Amino acid sequence: MDRLPELTVPDISQAKCILAIQPHYDDNDIAAGGTLHTLGVKGAQLIYLTVTDDLAGVNTPELSREQSIKKLQDDQNQAGALIGVQKQIRLGFPDAGKYDYFLLREKIITQIRSLKPDFLFTVDPWTPYETHNDHIQTGKAAAEAAILYQLPSIGDFKVIDMKDYELKGVVFYNTAYPNLTFDITEVLSVKQEALRSYTAQFTSDGLERLISHTTLLAANVAQDELFAFGESFKVVTPWMLHGVPFTMTI
């Protein structure tokens, strides 16, 4: 029996605007940089939203807070130029600290309403053994924003601005339940070069270990595919994120 159209995995290759919501300044590129770069080359507008200020992991404690923030943002801008990011949004919540989940959710909803992306990319908060609260809060807030952005009682809602807009899908990376492996073989070197930009939180040896690790993972997830390197995702439509127990199996 054919699958119902409503259960079809949304086609991310048709994306025109992507809002990639990450806990820290490098998560999008580590987990999805090859895919995002490819979609950008195909014509999608790439917008990154970074939730935290990333200060917890800075490896140069002698720098002031302002100097550290500048270094982090310079790193991110350099990597973003390679990936093809057209806009960086930084919320500045405390890295590995305490912040309000509902405020974060509202800020994400505000960006969805303003930018009207086809797809959200974000970290999968339901991955088993994920212990980093920044990842859990970011993924859950993004997922909940995907089902609540149309409700006028939440935040600043202008009906005329939302006319004819519908979010097509949410793409979770770092997932234990993938339903898509995206071919990044031809752009693997672009991803690797982008990761080398992140010097504020990694030593040169640490960056090479990161690149080795992500390359090994990319080969592993592609082992049953017809290509050499890939990135894996759980892609769902927003309605699958509420009251649908079998979403994990889709």
Q: Which domain holds residue 145?
A: 5-240
Structure tokens at 70: 């500048």
Determine, yes or no, domain membership for 246.
Answer: no
Structure tokens at 208: 């090479």
Residue range 189-217, pLDDT digits in tens: 999 999 999 999 999 999 999 999 999 99
Determine, yes or no, domain membership for 247.
Answer: no
146: nearest Cα among 210, 20, 230, 237: 237
What pTM did the predictor assign?
0.96
Q: Which residue has the higher pLDDT, 167 or 157?
A: 167
Determine, yes or no, domain membership for 37.
Answer: yes
50: nearest Cα among 83, 82, 20: 20
Confidence band (pLDDT; 50, 70, 90) for 162? confident
| Integer angstrom CA distances of residue 157 from 109, 114, 234 | 10, 10, 29
Query: Total structural domains in the chain?
Result: 1
Determine, yes or no, domain membership for 248.
Answer: no
Kindly report the CATH number assigned to the domain that includes residue 17.
3.40.50.10320
Residues whose CB falls within 8 Å of the CB of residue 151, separated by 6 or more in sequence, listed in order: 157
Determine, yes or no, domain membership for 91.
Answer: yes
Pairing of strands 169-173, 230-236: antiparallel
Confidence band (pLDDT; 50, 70, 90) for 186? very high
Summarize the confidence of residues 100-109 as an average pLDDT.
Answer: 97
Q: Which residue has the higher pLDDT, 82 or 62?
A: 82
Summarize the confidence of residues 12-29 as an average pLDDT.
Answer: 98
> Are 87 and 40 spatial neighbours (Cβ–Cβ below 8 Å)?
no
pLDDT for the residue 6: 63
d(CA 6, CA 8): 6
For residue 32, is pLDDT > 90?
A: yes
Summarize the confidence of residues 85-114 as an average pLDDT.
Answer: 97
